[in-house]
Structure 1
């Protein structure tokens, strides 16, 4: 899946690249999705490039 480049700077992979580990921690306290590209886990689908729902 292609990522929306305007929102990409808010995605987990971009935050990791910037070294913003504190924000990554805040956005992944109770993950419900993971990125189908890089496997980063996040609480909300809008925080990853290619959201895939995690099994419950």
Structure 2
């Protein structure tokens, strides 16, 4: 999941050679992270259903 986000971020930042300020870079990364979370929040990864009950019991 982390590698997927990193690849997405690299694709989005590749056309931009530089950001005018550090704050603009932080804002850009924040927006990308929020968009990624909105898209993939309900996605269940392969094999996760096998341990889902166990993980949920830890947090109940």
Q: TM-score, normalised by structure 2?
A: 0.26
Q: Which structure carries more helix by proportion?
A: 2
Q: Which structure carries more strand by proportion?
A: 1
Q: TM-score, normalised by structure 1?
A: 0.27
